[in-house]
Structure 1
Amino acid sequence: MRPMAGALRYRVEQLETGPLVRVEGRLERGVAGELSELLQRLVSQPAPRVALALSAVDEVDSAAVAVLVQASRLAAKAGGGLRLTAASEHARRALAMFKPREPPAGGARPAGGLESLGGAVSDAAGAFRDFLQTAADASAAVLWGVVRPKTVRWSALTEQAVFIGSQALPIIGLISFLVGLTLAFQSAHQLSQFGAAIFVANLTGVAMIREMGPLMTAILVAGRSGSSIAAEISTMKVSEEIDALQVMGMDPIRFLAVPRLLAITITLPLLTVFADLLGILGGFVVGIFYLDIAPVAFLNQMLEALGPQDLLTGLVKSVAFAWGIGLIGLFYGFRVQGGAAEVGRTTTSSVVASIFYIIVADCFFSVVFYILI
C-alpha cells in the first residue's frame, strides 16, 4: 500500500479488465487533491476501465465524493468508465447521500410549440398578477397620502416634479412645435387644392389638443422620466437599499412610489397643455407665413373648431398616461433581480412597456370619446 497525506493508503492492481484501485483509511478533504491526480491519471487513458474498491475505507466526506464524481465523468467522456466494486458502510452511505443527478439518456427533450406557448402565457399571467399587486399597493398609498398630506414626502415630490416637469419643457416644446408645423404642412397641400386652406387651423388645433399633444408628451415622458423611475428603483433594489428601508420599518411603496406617482400625475397634464400651445404655434406659423392666412382669421377658425370637451379629452388621456408610466416604471424597478446588468435591461423593458401601454390606451380612449362626444 502506498501512503497518501493523512490516514489513507492505496494500491493499484493491473487486471485484465483494467486497473483496480484499492483504498484504505479515511477519504477526506486533505487527501482529495492526491486522489484526484491519481484517478485523473488512470482515466486519461483511451477508453479507460477503472475499478475502485472502498471496502477498507472508514470515512468519506463531500470533497472525496466530488473527486469520484469528477473522475467518473472524465472516464465516461473518454469512452470508458469508473465502477465501484466494493464499498464499506460509510462509503455507501456517503455516496448515496451525495449521489449526483444524472441527465436523462439522449439529452433533455426540447419543449414543443404548445408547451412553449403555455409557458409564455403562464409567465405573462404571473407578471400581470404581480403588476396588479404593485398597482393596488401604490394606489392605496397615494390615496392615503391624499387623505393624510403629512405622510407625503413633499421635498421628494418637489424634486421629482422639477425633474419630470420643468426640466422637460425644452425638449417637449421643440418636438411639439415641429409636430404642429409638420401637421400643418402636410394638410396645407391637400386642403389648398380645394380652396380650404383655412381649415388647416381646425386640423392643427383639434389634432394637437385631442391626440398629438397628449400622445407625444406621454411618449417623451416615458422615455425620459419613466426610464429614470425604473432605473432609480432597480438600482436601489440591486444595492439592497430597499431592504434597508424595510429593516428600518419604512414602507418602500409609500417612501418611494408616492412622491413619483403624485409628481408625474401633476406635471404630465401641465406638460400636455404646454405641448398643445407649442403645436398650435407651429401650425400658426405655417398658416401665417406659408398660406397667407390672417392671424385673427386663423385664431377665430381654430377657436370655432375647438370646445371644452376637446381639452378635457386631452387632459383625461394625460392623467391615464401618467399613471401608466409611473406604475410600469415602479413595477419593473421593484421586480428586478440580479446585478448591475439587469438594471439596464429593466430600464429598457419599462420604456418599451410604457410606450406600448400609451398606444393601446390612446386607441381605447379615442374609441370611447368618439362614441361619447
Structure 2
Amino acid sequence: MQPPEGKLIRAHVAGIANEIEILWRRGGPVTLDLSAITLVDSAGAALLATYYRRAVREGRALKVTGVRPEVAKTLDLFPVVEGDPPKPPRPGFLERIGEGTAKSHEVLLLYLALCADVAWFGVVGLFRPPKIRWRVVAYEMANMGSRALGVVGLIAFLVGGTVALMSAAQLRQFGANIFIVDLIGVSLTRELGPLMAAIVVAGRSGSSVAAEIATMTITEEIDALRTMGLNPTRFLVLPKVIAISITQPLITVMADFLGILGGFIVAVTYLDVGLEPFIDRLLQSLFLRDLLIGILKSIVFAQLIVTIGALCGMRTRGGADAVGLSTTTSVVASIFAVVVADALFSLIFYFGG
C-alpha cells in the first residue's frame, strides 16, 4: 500500500493506520511501499516504529520498501529501539543522601529568601503605609484568627482538664493537691497553650495558605503578578504574616485561659481545691514572664506556619494532585518546624535562666 499525496505526515497518519490495521488482521506478511513518499514527519516515523515493534512482538513479517534517501535521513532521526528501554540504575544509599541534602539546601535557601522578602516589605511598609494592604490584613485576621477560636478553645479546655485529671491521682497520694495549680498554670502558658494553638492553626490555616497559593501557581496567577511587576510576597504573603502575627498571640492567651479553666474544674471536682486557694496559688506560681514567653513563642510559630505554607504553595508544579501534595507537605513541615522551634526555645530559656 502507498500513502496518499506522497506525504506520510500527521494529517494522513490516522487513515493510513486504519488501512494497515485492516491488512494486519488478515494475517500474513505486510509490505509498505514508500517509493512515492517524498515527505515524512515525526508522526509518520512513529507510525512505522509502532508497527515494527508490533511485528517483532507478534512474530509477523513487516517489510518497508522503496524508501528514498531524503526520507531515509528523516527516519534515521527516529531510531527504533527494540523492547523496553533499559531501566536506569537504582541510586545508591550515599547518592540518595546527597540528593536529599542538595534538595534540602535548595529549599532552605528559597525559604530564607522568602523570609527576607517578608521582612523587607514589612519594614518598608512601616515607613510607607500604602505598601501594606490593611483591608486584606483585616480579612486574613478574621479568616485565620476569629474562625479558629472555637476549635482551639475546645481543644485547650479538654487538654487542660486531661492533664489535671492524669496528675490528680499522683498528687493526691502525697497530699500535694494544691500543686495542681502550678502544673496547669506554668505548663499551659509556657508550653501547651502556644504549642496546641500552633498545631491546630497549622492544620487549619497553614493548609489553607498552601492550597490557595498552590492553586494560584498552577493557574499561573503568580506568574501574572510577576509579569505585571508585582511581587507575590508583598501582595500575598505579607498580609497573611501580619494578620497571623496579631491573631495568634490572642488565640494563645485564650487557649491558656480555657486550659486553666479545664484544670480548675478537675481540681475542684477531684482534688477538693477551692476557688480562692486556686486563684491565690495561681497568682503565686504564675509570672508575667511565663505569659510573655508563651506569646513570643506563638508569634514565631505563627510566622513559621504561614511562610512554610506560602513556600510550599509557590513550589507547586503539576496539576490538581500537586495542590493536595503541597498542602500535605505544608502541614507536616509546619508542625515539624513548630516542634523543633519549641524545643529550641526550651533549651534557650532553660540554660539562659
Q: TM-score, normalised by structure 2?
A: 0.89
Q: What is the alpha-carbon distance in structure 2 between the residues aligned to residue 174 and residue 58 of structure 1?
A: 77
Preserved CA contact (<8 Å) 2:210 2:327: yes
Preserved CA contact (<8 Å) 2:216 2:222: yes
Q: Which residue does the alignment assign to 1:317?
A: 297
Residue 124 (structure 1) aligned with residue 104 (structure 2):
yes
Q: What is the alpha-carbon distance in structure 2 between the residues aligned to residue 117 and residue 151 of structure 1?
A: 43
Unaligned runs of 5+ in 2: none
Residue type of the partner of 1:300? D
Unaligned runs of 5+ in 1: 8-25
Query: Which of 204, 214, 217 in structure 2 is aligned with 1:224?
Result: 204
Q: Which residue does the alignment assign to 2:342?
A: 362
Q: Which residue does the alignment assign to 2:216?
A: 236
Alpha-carbon spacing, 1:294–1:237, altered in 2? closer, same or farther (3 Å)? same
Residue type of the partner of 2:127? V
- Partner-residue secondary structure (3-state), 1:36: helix
Preserved CA contact (<8 Å) 1:72 1:81: no
- Partner-residue secondary structure (3-state), 1:173: helix
Residue 326 of structure 1: CA displacement? 0.8
The percentage of aligned residue pairs carrying the same residue is 43
Alpha-carbon spacing, 1:131–1:62, altered in 2? closer, same or farther (3 Å)? same
Aligned length, in residue pairs: 353
Residue type of the partner of 2:226? Q
Preserved CA contact (<8 Å) 2:118 2:233: yes
CA root-mean-square deviation: 2.7
Q: TM-score, normalised by structure 1?
A: 0.85
Deviations 1:196-247 (A, max 9, x none): 1010111110011111010001111111111111111112222232233233
Q: Which residue does the alignment assign to 1:6?
A: 5
Residue type of the partner of 1:5? P
Residue 58 (structure 1) aligned with residue 44 (structure 2):
no
Alpha-carbon spacing, 1:34–1:150, altered in 2? closer, same or farther (3 Å)? closer
Q: Which residue does the alignment assign to 2:17?
A: 36
Residue type of the partner of 1:77? R
More strand by share: 1
Query: Which of 106, 117, 120 in structure 2 is aligned with 1:140?
Result: 120
Alpha-carbon spacing, 1:371–1:337, altered in 2? closer, same or farther (3 Å)? same
Alpha-carbon spacing, 1:70–1:113, altered in 2? closer, same or farther (3 Å)? same
Preserved CA contact (<8 Å) 2:3 2:37: no
Deviations 1:143-201 (A, max 9, x none): 22233222111001001111222222222211111111111111121111111101011
Q: What is the alpha-carbon distance in structure 2 between the residues aligned to residue 269 and residue 252 of structure 1?
A: 26
Matches for 1:1-373 after TM superposition, within 5 Å: 4-7=3-6, 26-29=7-10, 31-33=12-14, 35-37=16-18, 54=34, 57-79=37-59, 87-99=67-79, 107-373=87-353
- Partner-residue secondary structure (3-state), 2:38: strand
- Partner-residue secondary structure (3-state), 1:254: helix
Preserved CA contact (<8 Å) 1:142 1:261: no
Residue 41 of structure 1: CA displacement? 6.1
Deviations 1:304-324 (A, max 9, x none): 112232122212211110110
